[in-house]
Amino acid sequence: MAVPEIVLTSTRVVLTRPDDSLALMPATIIVSPVTGKIVSIFPQVLPRESFPPETPYQDYSPKLLIPGLVDAHVHLNEPGRTEWEGFNTGTQAAASGGVTTVVDMPLNAIPPTTTLNGFKEKLAASQGQCWVDVGFYGGVIPGNADELLPLVEAGVRGFKGFLIDSGVEEFPAVSAKDIALAMTTLKDTATTLMFHAEMLPPLAASVGDSVPQSAPPLKPHGELNSYETFLESRPPAFETSAVAEILSMAHLAPQLHLHIVHLSATECIPLLRDARQMGINITAETCFHYLGLASDSIADGDTRHKCCPPIRSQSNQDRLWEELADADGCIKTIVSDHSPCTPELKLLPAHLQTAYREGPRPAIRHFDSGIDVTLPKETATEGLATKQAAPLPAKPQGDFFAAWGGISSVGLGLPILFTTAAERLARGHSAPSITDIVRMCSQATARQVGLAHRKGGIKAGLDADICVFDDEAVWTLRAGDMRWKNRVSPWEGHTFRGRVHETWLRGAKVFAHGGERGGFVGGAPVGMAIVERRTE
C-alpha cells in the first residue's frame, strides 16, 4: 500500500519563491514520508476535507512555519573532547531549537578534521548519534595542504584556519605562506575558505609573518576578573589586521569564496565592503551573542561571556544590526558558534555555578589568550616550551584570562534574534523581520556550505526540514532547558519571546516541546552525516 503523504499547514508560512525571494503567507505543504522531500505547496490553508481520511494532517495556525535553520558554525568536539560536547547532546540541542542542519567545526575534536583519516574518525564517531543532519568542515593548519583536496572529495563543506593561537595544540595558527598555499590549492574548487580573523597588528614590515600570527594577545593590565580588562586585550585592531592580511592575498584565488567567521568588530566592515566592491568574493558571518549581548552589562567575573573575538559594546552591536539590515552589506549569515566546554574550565564564581547533568569531568590541558589554563591538578608542562605559559592562581574563579572562551547557544538562535529584534523595534531602531531571519539563518547559511539544493527553504523539491515557531510564547531560559551537554551559558536567566514548538527533519517529526522523552520524538536519532561532494 502507498504511504500517505503528510500535510502541514498554517496561515503564516515563510515560503521560498521561484526567484529565491522569501514571502510570509498562508500555505499548505505536502510532504513525502518516503523521500523526505516537499512534494508541493499550495498558497492557502487547505482544510482536512481536501485530503483522503488517512492523510496525516496538522493545521498549526497561527504559529509560524519556517525552514529548519542551518547553523553553519557548531563545535561538536567528538571524538576526543566529548566531555565538552558530543554529537548526541549537541544535535539534540539543535533539534530543540528548530535547527535541522549543523556544520561541525574541525577543531577541539581529537584528532581534528585536518586529514582524511581524521575525517574518517569523526564520521565513525557520529554514527547513530545525530538528531539532525550534520555537515563537516575541514581545517587548514601548517603542513596539511596535501590533505585539502582529498577532504574536498570526501565531502567537507569548507575549510577553517586561525590567524592566532586557536587555544588547542593540535590546531596551530597559519602564517601568510600557509594561507597562500591553501588559496592556490583550493582556487578551482567549489568550497569556502574561512578564517578566524584575529591577529596581532604587525609591529613593522621587517618583523616578518611568524610573530603576528602566533604570539599571544596583549599582556593584560587591569583586574583579571574585569571584562573590560579582557576586552582591552583583544581590540578591534586584532580583527582589522587579520582581515587586511587575508584580503592582501585574495588575488591568488579570485573565484574562491572567502569567509570571515564570527565577525565582532564593526571596524572590519569598511574593509570588507570595499573588497566586495572591487570584486573580491568575500563574506562574513556574525553570531547570536554579538547581536544580543553587550560588554556594557557584563558583570565582573561572569566568565560565561568569554569568547574570542570578544563581545563588544552596545554601540558596536547597533552597527552590526545596521549592517545586517543593508541588502548590500558584507555580513550575510548569522550562526551560533556553539563552543562549549566543561563547567570547570569556565572557572565560574560560586554564585554562578549550577548543578550540571553529568557531574564533574577531568580537565584537558589547553591554552587560551596565550595562558596555560590547565586546572591546578594538571600542571604538566612537557612539550610546552614554545608556549608562554603562566601559573594559575590558587583560586582563579572569575578570571577572564584563565577561563576557556566559548559561548553555548546552539538551538537558541530563533528566540535570541526574535526577542532582540522586538526590543529594537520598541526603541525605534531597525530590526529584521521573520523573513530576514530565515534568509540569514537558513537560506544563506545553506548556500554558504553548498547545500541550497537540499536545505534552507520551504520549496518543492527541498528536504522537508520545517520549524514550527510559536512567536507568542514567553519563557525564561533555565539550566534545565539547556540540551547541550554542559549547562553553562550567558543566556541563562534571559527571558525570550518566541519558542520552537516542533521540529521536522526530512518529513519526520523529531522534536515536540513538552513531549515525552524530553520532547525527542521516536526515541532514536534519525539525522544523517552529509558527505556528498560539494558542487556549488
8 Å CB contact between 462 and 38: yes
User: 48 is written with which cell numbers?
Assistant: 482536512
The whole-number pLDDT of residue 3 equals: 78
The whole-number pLDDT of residue 217 equals: 52
Residue pLDDT tens, the chain, 536 long = 577 899 999 999 999 999 999 999 999 999 999 999 999 999 999 999 999 999 999 999 999 999 999 999 999 999 999 999 999 999 999 999 999 999 999 999 999 999 999 999 999 999 999 999 999 999 999 999 999 999 999 999 999 999 999 989 999 999 999 999 999 999 999 999 999 999 988 754 444 444 333 344 556 778 889 999 999 989 999 999 999 999 999 999 999 999 999 999 999 999 999 999 999 999 999 999 999 999 999 999 999 999 999 999 999 999 999 999 998 999 999 999 999 999 889 998 888 876 544 444 444 444 444 444 444 443 333 333 334 444 444 447 899 988 999 999 999 999 999 999 999 999 999 899 999 999 999 999 999 999 999 999 999 999 999 999 999 999 999 998 999 999 999 999 999 999 999 999 999 999 999 999 999 998 899 999 999 999 99
CA neighbor of 490 nearest in space, from 501, 498, 479:
479
Side chain identity at residue 411, one-letter code = G
Helix pair 268-277, 236-247: axis angle to 10 deg: 20
Give the span between the Cα atoms of 107 and 116, in whole angstroms: 14
The whole-number pLDDT of residue 374 equals: 45
The whole-number pLDDT of residue 358 equals: 46
DSSP per position, 469-522: EEEEEEEE--GGG--SSS---TTTT-EEEEEEEEEEETTEEEEETT-SGGGBTT
Task: Read off the pTM.
Answer: 0.91
In angstroms, how far is the first alpha carbon of the chain from the final one?
38
CA neighbor of 154 nearest in space, from 133, 138, 132, 134:
138
List beta partners, residue 286.
Answer: 334
User: 173 is written with which cell numbers?
Assistant: 595558527
In the three-class reduction of DSSP (H, G, I as helix; E, B as strand; rest coil), residue 426 is classed as helix
The whole-number pLDDT of residue 363 equals: 43
CA-based torsion, 473, 476, 480, 486: positive or negative = positive
List beta partners, residue 135.
Answer: 103
> Strands, E, within 60-127: which ranges?
64-67, 69-74, 99-104
The whole-number pLDDT of residue 1 equals: 56
527: left (phi over 0), alpha (psi -120 to 50) or beta: beta
Give the span between the Cα atoms of 187 and 254, in whole angstroms: 7
Element (H, E) at 257: strand 257-260
Give the span between the Cα atoms of 291 and 324, in whole angstroms: 10
Element (H, E) at 96: helix 87-96
8 Å CB contact between 163 and 173: yes
β-bridge pairing 6-16 and 57-59: parallel
- Rg over alpha carbons for the chain, rounded to the nearest Å, is 22
Measured between alpha carbons, how far is residue 135 from residues 104, 121, 158 in Å? 6, 14, 10
List beta partners, residue 338.
Answer: 74, 407
8 Å CB contact between 24 and 12: yes
Give the span between the Cα atoms of 31 and 34, in whole angstroms: 9
Residue indicated by cell numbers 569523526: 122
